Amino acid sequence: MMEKLLEVKHVKKYFEIGKKQFLKAVDDLTFDIYKGETFGLVGESGCGKSTAGRLMMGIYTPTEGQILYGGKDIHVLNERERFLMKRNVQMIFQDPYASLNPRSTVREILAEPLEVHGIFKNKREELERIYELLEEVGLNREHAGRYPHEFSGGQRQRIG
C-alpha cells in the first residue's frame, strides 16, 4: 500500500471583495498525493492554481476543508513540524524567470534552501549535491555558474 503524503479534502478559499460579495478562488478541491508520485495542478490563468498552492503551503487558511500532511492538519502544526514540512513540500511557479533572482547564479539559487535547512555539513558536499541535481534535469556542472537569463538565449518564452 502506498503512503499518502498529502490529503486535500473539500478545500474552499473565498476572498471577500465587497459587502456580502465573495470571489471563489478555490471551490471544493479534493485530491491525494502519494509517496513517489509526481503531481501537477494545471488550468487556465485565474482558475485558482496559485491559491491552491498557497493553501497547501499553509500561507492561506482555507475557508472550509482540510489539508493533511503526513496525516496532520497543516494549520495546527507546531513551529518544528511546519519547518520539517517545508523541507519536503515546495511550490514550483509557472514562470521561473519571475521567481528566480536574476542577480544570483544557478548554484546560489540551488544552495539557498540547502543552507536554510542545514542539509550539508560543508560547502563541498553542498556543491556535489548541486551538481547531482543539475545532472538529474539534463544540465551539466558548468550550468551552475550561469544566471537565469543565460538559459533559452536570454529571452523569456511565453506559451499561450
Distance separating alpha carbons of residues 35 and 9, to the nearest angstrom: 18
Distance separating alpha carbons of residues 66 and 49, to the nearest angstrom: 17
Check residue 125 and give its pLDDT.
94
Q: Are 63 and 12 in contact (CB under 8 A)?
A: yes
Segment 50-76 mean pLDDT:
93
Check residue 72 and give its pLDDT.
93
The secondary element (H helix, E strand) that includes residue 11 is strand 4-18
Instruction: Give the pTM.
Output: 0.65
Q: Which CATH architecture has domain 4-88?
A: 3-Layer(aba) Sandwich (3.40)
Distance separating alpha carbons of residues 34 and 107, to the nearest angstrom: 30
Check residue 94 and give its pLDDT.
64
Among candidates 110, 114, 117, which has minimal Cα distance to 139? 110
Q: What does the domain layout of the chain look like in residue ranges? A: 4-88, 96-154
Q: What pLDDT, in 10s, does the model give residues 5-57?
A: 999 999 999 999 989 899 999 999 999 999 888 888 888 888 999 899 999 99
Q: What pLDDT, in 10s, does the model give residues 111-155?
A: 998 888 888 889 999 999 999 999 988 899 999 999 988 876 544
Check residue 159 and give its pLDDT.
45
* The pLDDT of residue 157 is above 60: no
Alpha carbon dihedral 98, 99, 104, 108, in 10-degree steps, equals -160
Check residue 105 and give its pLDDT.
94
* Distance from the Cα of residue 97 to its chain's centroid: 15
Check residue 153 and give its pLDDT.
53
- Provide the residue type at 129 as one letter: R
Distance separating alpha carbons of residues 68 and 26, to the nearest angstrom: 17
